Amino acid sequence: MDMERFKNSTVKIDNEEKMAGEALFTADIPLKDFLYVRQIRSSIPCGKIKEVILPELPEDYYYVDASDIVKENVVNIIFSDWPVFADGHVKYYGETIGLLIGKNKAKLIELEKQVKITYEEETPVFDYVNSEIHKEFKKGDLSSVIKDADLVLEETFETGYQEQAYLETQAMIMWLDGEKITIKASMQCPFYIKKAVVRTLGCNEEDVRVIQPAVGGAFGGKEHYPSMMAAQLATAIHKIRRPLKMIFDRSEDIINTTKRHPSKSTYTGYVKDGKLVGVKARVRLNGGAYKGCSGVVLSRALIAVVDCYNIPNLDITGDVYITNTMPSAAFRGFGSPQTIFAFEMFIEHVAKKLGVDPIEFKIAHFAKQGDITAVNGKFHDKIILPELVEKAFEMSDFKRKYEEYKKPGCLRGIGMSAFLHGCGFTGSGESTIINAQVKLTKDENDIVHLYTSQVDFGQGNRTTLKKIVSDTLGIPESQVTHEPPDTDHTLSTGPTAASRTIIIVGFLCEKAAKNLKNIWKSGVYQEIIEPYVGPSYITWDEDLMKGDAYPGYAWGVNIIEVSYDPITYQIKVEGVWSTYDVGHAIDDRIVCGQADGGIAQAIGYGYMENMEMKDGKFMQKTLSDYIVPTCEDLPMMETALIDNLFAYGASGAKGCGELTFVGGAPALAHAIEMAIKKNIYKIPLTPEYIMEVVENGKD
Amino acid sequence: MAKINFIVNHQPIELDINPSTRLLDVLRDYLGFKGVKEGCGEGACGACSVLVDGEAYNSCLTPVANVAGKEVITIDEFNKTPQYRIIADAFAEMGGSQCGFCTPGMIINTYVLLKKNPFPSEEEIRFALSGNICRCTGYNAIVKAVMVASENGRNIVW
Ligand code: FES
Ligand code: FES
C-alpha cells in the first residue's frame, strides 16, 4: 500500500550520507586551531548588574561583553530590542552577559564557575500585566447580536510552553577567511544570520559569508536564536581573530533558547437560532523579556482566532505581554496552535451547552469559498473541508466510535479537529518585504544549478525544489543540482519559515524553470533570475489587521482516539488519522513524513510536553524531565491527501509543514474530553490536570 | 590517567586517558568517528548508540574504561556491511530519516533488534526503539522501515 502511496516520490538527495553518519553537522566540521566559547549568563530574572568579577584568565583565554560591541548592541530580529550582551541590566534568567573563550573546554567550565556577578535585584514580572504589543480588529457588528442572543458563553483557555527539542542542539562555528567572517551553523535562515552580523559590526554585506551544513531539526527554534549566537561570536572574533566554536549541550539549549509562547485567551460567544453568530476574544501571549518576533506571532494567532469557521461578527483584541522570562519566539505554527486549540474547544463547548451534536455544529460553521475571513479578507479559493472530513471519518470509522464512546462509563474517546493554515508571510509581506529571488543557471554541459536560501533541516525541501525544476524542464533529476545555501552564491529566497518554502519558493522555481525551458540552448551557459510576484488580489493592512492575510491557505482534519485509565489518570493514544489539502503534493513520501512528524509533536504539546516556569526559571532542563513522545507513545498513524490545486503554486502546491501541527492538540483534547466526560480548558493535559478536571471539573 | 586497550572499527586502539572519559568523546574527538552523535548527553535519546561486542550502548553514558578489551563498532564502519544496506534501503524507501540526526542511532538499534528477533511485531519494534528519540518523523516511517528491513533481510544472517 505504501508503494502505491509513494508513487511520485524520489529518494532524498541527502538521505544516504545522513543514514551512513557521513553528513557533517556543525559539531562534526573540522576547524583548525579554534577556541571554545561559553556564554556567561544572568542568574537572576531582573536587575542591574553591579559588577562582574572574573577569575584570573590564563594566557589565550578571553572575556568578551557589551564593552566590546563594535557598532550596535542589538540582535537583528523583526523587532530589534534584544541586546547581543546585557548592558548594565538583565531582564531574564539566562540572559547573556558575556562570553568566556579558551582552548580547553574543561578549563573553561572551571573558570565559568569562578565568575562572580553581583546584582541590584529588581522585582520581576511574570504575569500577563505589561502589554507592549496590542492589536485589535472587528468583523461585522458584534453589538447587533449581543442584545438578542439566545445563549452567551464565556470561557478562558490556557496553553503552555513548548520546547522545539530538535535533536541537534544549537551550534555555530565562525572563522576568518582572509578578512571575511565565515559561518557554519545549525540554522534555518542564512540571510538572517548574515544581517545580524552586518548590523552588530556595522560591516559590509561582502564581509560576511554564511554556509549551511547538515542541520538536525529546527521547527522554528533555529529561526532567530542563531542570529543571537552569530552577533555574539562576531563581536568576539572582531576582538580576538581566532576560529570560534559554540556548541550548546542539551541543558543549555533547553534553558537558554526560545520556545513557543504560552497563552491565555478568553472567548465569549453569542448564539442566535442555533448558530454561533458572534465572538469576542481576548488573546494574550507571554512574549518574555524582549519583543523580537512576538508581534508577528500575535498576528498569526489573531488571524486564526476562529480557526476555519465562519463567524459573521467578531470583536478581537490581542496582546503580547512582556515578562522577565526567556523571550518566546518561533515554533511550528507560530501563534496559531494557541488560538486554534482555544477556539476548537470553545466551539464544541458552545454546542454542548446548546445540546446539539458538536461535530455537526462545527461542520455547519465551516468557512466556504467566497466567505469573509476573520480579518475581512476573502477566501478566494475552493475549500474542500467537507471532503476532508468525510475521508477522515471513513478512515477512522469515526461515527460508530463516536456514538459508542460517548456512552457513560466508556473509557475511550475520539475527537476531531478541523483547521486551516495560511501559507507564507502575512499579507503582502512576500512581495514587499521578502522579495525572494531564485537563481537558476545552466552550464555548458547542460547541467542545471538551482540556488535558493532554503535550509533543509529534515523537511526534504532540497529534494522537492530540485524536483520541481527537473519536472518542469522535463529532464532527469540527476541533471539538476541544488546545494545547501551559501550566501556568497545564492540570492535570498527568504527564510525557511512560515510554510512558505513550497508555496512561494517552489512556485518561483517552477517559473524560473519554465523560463529557462523557453530559452534553452544546448551547450551554452544560461542564467535566470526570477523574482516573486504574488497574486495581485492580495492586499493587507498590518496596522488595521485588515485584508487578505496570506497568499493561500492549506486545510486539514485530524482525528485522534484515546483510552483513559481512571486509576492513574494516564492517557494512551490509540489511533491517529489525518486528511490534508496541501494543494498538490510534489512528493507524497515527504509530505506524509511532515504529516507524521507534525502531529506527533502536536500530541506531545497536547499531553506530554510539560515545561514549567518557577521564579523565571524553567523547571525542566533535560530530555529526561522534558518528555517528548517516543515510539511507544504513538500508534501507527494514517494520512490521506486530497488534491485541490492552487493557481499560484508549483503544480498547484501550497504549504504543509505547520499545517500538520496546528490541529493535533485540540483533536487529542476533544478525545480526552469524551473519555473523561468533562470539559478541558488547558494544555498540556498532564495526569495532574486530568485528575483535577475529573474531580472538580464541569461535565 | 590509565592505559586502555580496545578495538574500534576493527582497529586496535591504545589510549593513555582518564578512564572516566565518555566513550562518546573518545570516539568523536580522539578518534574522529563523527557518525556518532550527541543529542542529550544523558542516556535519553540514543543518538550516540554504538555496538559494543554486538550490543547497543549509549556511548554518552559509557566511561571508556568499560570498553577495555572489547570491540566497538560505530556507524562509520557499520555502514559498509550488507546488514546496513538492507536497513538503510528500507529507511530510504519508507522515509525513515528526515533531518538524519537520530538515524545512525536508529540504524544501530534496528540492527541489534533484528539480530535478536529477525521478525519482530510492531509492538516489539516500538519497545526496542523506545530509547531512541526522533523529533522529525513521528516514528511511523521508522517502524515501517524496520518491518521492511525484516522482510527484505529474511534470507540473511543478521
Ligand atoms: S547522547 Fe547519548 S543517549 Fe542522548
Ligand atoms: S530524523 Fe530528525 S530526529 Fe529523527
Is A301 inside any structural domain?
Answer: no
**In a shared domain, residues A589 and A687:** yes
Q: Is the CB of A547 under 6 A from ligand 2?
A: no
Structural domains in chain B? 2-77 (3.10.20.30), 82-152 (1.10.150.120)
Does residue A571 sit in the same domain as residue A613? yes
> Are the Cβ atoms of B126 and A632 closer than 8 angstroms?
yes
- Atom 2 (ligand 2): residue with closest C-alpha? B99
B38 lines ligand 1 (CB under 6 A): yes
Average pLDDT over residues A638-659: 96
Residues A470 and A613 in one domain: no
Contacts of A590 in chain B (CB under 8 A): 95
Q: How many residues does chain A have?
A: 699
Report the sign of the C-alpha dihedral through residues A294, A300, A304, A305, in that order: positive
Ligand 2 atom nearest residue A166's Cα: 3
Interface test with B, best of A609, A631, A637, A668 (most B CBs within 10 A): A631
Closest residue in B to A165 (Cα–Cα): B135
**Torsions phi, psi for A316 (to 5 deg):** -125, 135
Is the pLDDT at B3 greater than 80? The verdict is yes
C-alpha cell at A381: 479559493
Q: What is the pLDDT of residue A535?
A: 82
Tell me if B41 CB under 6 Å of ligand 1.
Answer: yes
Picking from A469, A499, A531, the residue at the C-terminal end of a domain is A531
pLDDT of residue A3: 45
CB-CB neighbors (< 8 A) of B88 in chain A = 16, 19-20
Ligand lying closest to the C-alpha of residue A250: 1
Cα separation, B77 vs B10, in Å, equals 9
CATH number of the CATH domain containing A684: 3.30.365.10
Contact B100 A600 (CB under 8 A): no
Residue A477 has a pLDDT of: 94
Ligand 1 centroid to residue A515 C-alpha, Å:
49
Give how far Cα A289 sits from Cα of A43, A45, A94, B97, Å: 15, 9, 11, 36
Report chain A residues whose CB lies below 8 A from the CB of B139: 596, 600, 629-631, 634
Interface of A with B in 249-278 (CB under 8 A): 249-250
**3-class state of residue A559 by DSSP:** strand
Are A581 and A649 in the same domain?
A: yes
Q: By the 8 A CB rule, do A315 and A368 touch? A: no
Hey, what long-range contacts does A350-354 have (CB within 8 A, 24 or more apart)?
A: A350/A151, A350/A153, A350/A269, A350/A271, A350/A276, A352/A679, A353/A151, A353/A153, A354/A151, A354/A271, A354/A274
For A598, the enclosing helix (H) or strand (E) is helix A588-603
Residue B137 has pLDDT above 50, yes or no: yes
For residue range A22-67, list pLDDT tens digits in order.
999 999 999 999 999 999 999 999 999 999 999 999 999 999 999 9
Same domain, A559 and A663: yes
Q: Specify whether A482 is located in the same domain as A618.
A: no
Q: Answer whether A21 touches B (CB < 8 Å).
A: yes
The amino acid at residue B10 is H
Pick the residue from chain B with its C-alpha nearest to A459.
B98
Mean pLDDT of A350-375: 98
Q: Are residues A502 and A558 in the same domain?
A: no
DSSP letter, residue A376: S
Considering only CB atoms, A217 lies closest to which of B92, B101, B138, namely B101
* Total tally of structural domains belonging to chain A: 3
Name the minimum distance, in Å, from the CA of A219 to any CA of chain B.
9
How confident is the model over A233-242, as pLDDT tens digits? Answer: 999 999 999 9
- Mark whether A401 and A457 lie in a shared domain: no
Q: Is residue A212 part of a domain?
A: yes
- A272-289 per-position pLDDT tens digit: 999 999 999 999 999 999
Q: Is residue A254 scored above 50 in pLDDT?
A: yes
Hey, which residues 180-239 in chain A have their CB within 8 Å of chain B? Answer: 214-217, 219
Asked whether B82 lines ligand 1 (CB < 6 A), one says: no
pLDDT, average across residues B43-72: 98
Ligand 1 within 6 A of B58 CB?
yes
- Closest ligand to Cα A459: 2
In a domain? residue A169:
no
What residues in B contact A623, CB-CB < 8 Å? 39-40, 42, 44-45, 133
**The last residue of a domain, from among A483, A498, A531:** A531
Average pLDDT over residues A531-539: 84
- Please give the average per-residue pLDDT across A641-660, as a whole number: 96
Q: Based on the domain organization, do A87 and A199 belong to the same domain?
A: yes
The response to whether residue B143 sits with its C-beta less than 6 Å from ligand 1 reads no
d(CA B74, ligand 1 centre) in Å: 14
| Of A304 and A498, the one with more pLDDT | A304
* Cα–Cα distances in angstroms (integers) from residue A293 to residues A81, A229, A565, A621, B112, in the given order: 10, 16, 41, 24, 45
Q: pLDDT per residue over A79-109, tens digit each?
A: 999 999 999 999 999 999 999 999 999 999 9
CB contact under 8 A, A634 and B34: no
- pLDDT greater than 80 at residue A427: no
Task: Give the closest of A592, A628, A631 to B95, CB-based.
Answer: A592
Domain presence at residue A109:
yes
Q: Is A601 near chain B, with CB under 8 Å?
A: yes
Q: What average pLDDT does range A361-383 have in this prediction?
A: 97
Residue A138 has pLDDT above 90, yes or no: yes
Instruction: Tell me: pLDDT of A613 over 80.
Output: yes
Q: pLDDT band for position A314 (50/70/90)? A: very high
Q: Which residue's alpha carbon is nearest to atom 3 within ligand 1?
A: B43
Distance (Å, rounded) from C-alpha A698 to C-alpha B28?
55
The single-letter code of the amino acid at A374 is A
Q: Does A106 lie at the interface with B, CB-CB under 8 angstroms?
A: no
**Average pLDDT rounded to a whole number, residues A585-612:** 97
Question: A316: CA distance to ligand 1 center in Å?
Answer: 46
CB contact under 8 A, A216 and B92: no
Mark whether A462 and A521 lie in a shared domain: yes
Whether residue A118 sits in one domain with residue A50: yes
For residue B39, list chain A residues with Cβ-Cβ distance below 8 A: 167-169, 250, 623
For the CA of B47, the nearest ligand: 1
The phi, psi pair for A672, rounded to 5°, reads -70, -40
Ligand 1 geometric centre to CA of B101 (Å): 11
Q: For position A5, what pLDDT does the model report?
A: 54
Q: Which of B98, B104, B127 sits opposite A597 (nearest CB)?
A: B98
Q: What is the mean pLDDT of chain A?
A: 96
DSSP conformational letter for A59:
T
Does residue A577 fall inside a structural domain?
yes
Q: Is the pLDDT of residue A262 over 50?
A: yes
Residue A433 banded pLDDT, cuts 50, 70, 90:
confident
- Which residues span the domain enclosing A99? 26-123+180-256
**Beta strand segments in A532-588, E:** 540-541, 546-547, 552-565, 570-581
Cα of A655 vs its chain's centroid, Å: 13
- Best residue of B17, B22, B87, B98 to probe chain A, by most A CBs closer than 10 Å: B98
Does any domain span residue A415?
yes
Cβ <8 Å between B138 and A459: no
Q: What is residue A641's predicted lDDT score, i.e. its pLDDT? A: 97
C-alpha cell at B57: 550502548
ipTM: 0.98
How distant is the Cα of A10 from the closest Cα of chain B, in angstroms? 9
What distance in Å separates the CA atoms of residue B104 and residue A167, rounded to the nearest whole number? 12
A164 within domain boundaries: no
Which of A239, A256, A273 is a domain's end point? A256
Cβ atoms of A40 and B109 within 8 Å: the answer is no
What mean pLDDT comes out for the span B102-122?
Answer: 98
Cα of B25 vs centre of ligand 1, distance in Å, is: 12
On whether both A209 and A72 belong to a single domain, the answer is yes
Report the amino acid identity of residue A235.
T
In the predicted structure, residue A4 carries a pLDDT above the cut 70: no
Q: What mean pLDDT comes out for the span A159-185?
A: 98
pLDDT at position A698: 73
Give which of A8, A9, A167 to mutate to test B binding, by max B Cβ within 10 Å.
A167
Q: Is residue A343 part of a domain?
A: no
Contact A19 B76 (CB under 8 A): no
Tell whether ligand 1 has an atom less than 6 A from the beta carbon of residue B133. no
Which residue do the cell numbers 533535560 mark?
A622
Residue A547 region by backbone torsions, left for phi larger than 0, else alpha for psi between -120 and 50, else beta: left
- Model confidence pLDDT, tens digit, residues A192-204: 999 999 999 999 9
Please check the confidence at residue B26 and state whether its pLDDT lies above 80.
yes
Q: Which three cell numbers stand for residue A396?
A: 477512522
Ligand nearest to the CA of B97: 2
Mark yes or no for CB contact B95/A590 under 8 Å. yes
First to last CA, chain A: 42
